Amino acid sequence: MADLLGKDSYSNSKNQSYLFTGFAFCANCGGLLYHRECKHKSGSNVYWQCINRNCRDKRNINERELVTAVHEILKSHMRTVLRSSKPLTADMVTENIENDIVIKGFNDKIKQINDTKAKLSAQIDNGTVTAIEYEEMNSFYDSKIVALNAQKESILCKKKKMINCIDEISARFEKYCELPELTREIIVTFIDKVVVESKSSINIFFRYADFFAQEESGGENSGS
């Protein structure tokens, strides 16, 4: 994130990072939009412009309009995610309970195998099985235990990852949801890219979209 926060913008005279540097793209050619300031007697206007010479229909947008549109779409997206994260958390609790049951099943199987191995040791002591048979069966049981432990560890890792992921994402959304101003940090945290078609048609591609199973969608001032 630190690299993105400090990403440079194209400029004739400055090596500087602006609000949408590296995140705003032209819908026509897919190239980056660059920060441009137009000064006049009554002040100045800031625009984000496509500078691709090969682009036949270069997109550009006033920064105030871009900020307003992106901020509104982002706030709506955050509120939706926070609402959906509650049932998602409930589903995770149910899934974790199911995982605990599966893990208990693995532990029971491992105990049964260890009990069988103990009986096998007694059988070789009283001559019921030969040393070769014992080695073969003991090796088979050991491989079963290794496989069960691997499956158990996989479920435990998945469970831990799910809990950490939902906690981290929800905390970030709650932190930034009601902030009155759109900042570079918010853009870097939640947005992958902003594709500008016009001031009334801006597509935002969000980070974490796959996690919340959100489908990409286009449209007027829409988030993807």
Distance of alpha carbon 45 from the chain centroid: 35
Residues 59 and 80 in one domain: no
Residues 130 and 57 in one domain: no
pTM of the model: 0.54
Residues 55 and 98 in one domain: no
CA pair distance 217, 224, nearest whole angstrom = 5
pLDDT of residue 11: 40
Q: Domain range holding 107?
A: 74-176
Residues 15 and 39 in one domain: yes
Residues 120 and 195 in one domain: no
Residues 30 and 46 in one domain: yes
Query: pLDDT tens for residues 94-143?
Result: 666 777 888 888 899 999 999 998 888 888 888 888 888 889 998 999 99
Residues 78 and 143 in one domain: yes
Residues 79 and 64 in one domain: no
Three-point CA angle 192, 195, 62, nearest 5°: 115
And the tokens for 224? 């993807």
Residue 62 has pLDDT above 90, yes or no: yes
Residues 91 and 171 in one domain: yes
Residues 131 and 47 in one domain: no
What value does the mean pLDDT of the chain take? 79
Residues 172 and 78 in one domain: yes
Residues 16 and 32 in one domain: yes
* 3-class SS string, 147-195: HHHHHHHHHHHHHHHHHHHHHHHHHHHHHHCCCCCCCHHHHHHHEEEEE
Count of domains in the chain? 2
Query: pLDDT tens for residues 66-89?
Result: 999 999 998 888 877 777 665 555
Q: How far apart are the first and last CA of the chain?
A: 21
183-187, 188-192, 208-212: which range is least confident on average? 208-212
Query: Could you please report the per-residue DSSP string of 18-37?
Result: -TTTTTEEETTT-PBEEEEE
